[in-house]
Amino acid sequence: MSATASAVPDTFRPASAWTAWGQWLALATMTIDHLTRYVAPDSWQLDWAGSSIGRIAFPLFAAMVAWHGLFNTRNPQRYARRILIIGLAAQIPYMMMPRASDALILNVCFTLAAGLAGGAWLRELATRQRRGELAAHWTALGAAATLVVWYLLGDWVEYGHNGLLLIPLLMFAMHHLSQAGSHLSARLLAAAAAFPALWVAGQMNASDMAKSFTVATCLAVLLLAAGAAQRVPPLGTLMPRRLWLAWYPGHFALIAAWLWVMGAASWPLA
C-alpha cells in the first residue's frame, strides 16, 4: 500500500522514513492477530494477543494510507484504486476465514480504499472552494453525497463506519499538525483537530485493552505528523514492493489452505 512520489512542495511534506518501519510492524501485528485468531488452538489461550498486539495493525495501515494520500502521492484516487485491487485479490481467501456470521463483509482493503477516496474527495472540495473554483452549495452537496456513501457502505466493510471515518479524520489531523509551526494558537488548533481521530479510534473496539492499543497507535502517528517524523532514521533494508503487495492476500490464502488441510485430516475414514 505504498504511494507514488508527490508533486506537493517539500514545505508540505514531513519526512516519511517512518513508513518503512511501519510496513514491517503493520504486517507483523496483522499476521500475529490472524494466526492467533484462526490457526492457534483455543487451548493455547492467545486471545490476549488479538486484543493487544493485533489492535495495532488496522490503525497503523490506516495511518500510512492517510499519510501517503496526504503527503506522498499526486493522485490519491489512483492510490485508492491500487489498494482496492489488493482487496479484490484477497476477498475470496478472506471469506474462507471462520467467522460467526455468513453475511458478506468486504475485507479491510475496501475500508482503506474507501476511506482514502472519501478523505481525498472532501479535501479536494474544500481546496476548490477556498480557491473560489466551487460554490459553497456544491461543496455542501458533495460532502452530503460522501456522507450518504459512508452510511450505506459502513455495514459492508471490515471495521464498519468507524473504520471508514478514521482515514479522513487522520488526514485532517495530520494536515493541521504538520502545518502548526511554533505559534501557540496554531498548535492548539492542531491539537483540537487530532481529537476526532482519537475519539473514533477509541470507539472501534470493545475491550479497554484493545481501545488503548488502537488509540495509542493513532496518537503515535499524529506525533510523527507534528514533527517527530523528522527524527526517525531511515530503514536500511526496505521491504520488497512485491512482498508488501502480496502479503495481505497471500497470508489469507495460506491460512485458508492450512485450515482446509487440517479439516480434511480430521475427517473420519470411510
Q: Band of the pLDDT at 1, cuts 50, 70, 90?
A: low
Place of cell 489512483: 78
Task: Answer whether 227's CB lies under 8 Å from 66's CB.
Answer: no
Q: What percent of the chain has pLDDT over 90?
A: 69
| 8-state DSSP, 14 | -
- What confidence tens digit (pLDDT) does each residue in 201-253 have? 999 998 999 999 999 999 999 999 998 999 999 887 778 989 999 999 999 99
> What rounded mean pLDDT belongs to the chain?
89
DSSP string, 50-91: HHTGGGGHHHHHHHHHHHIIIII-S-HHHHHHHHHHHHHHHH
The whole-number average pLDDT for the span 165-178 is 95
Beta bridge mates, 157: 106
Comparing 15-19, 22-26, 176-180, 207-211, the range with the smallest average pLDDT is 176-180
Q: What is the 8-class DSSP label of residue 132?
A: T
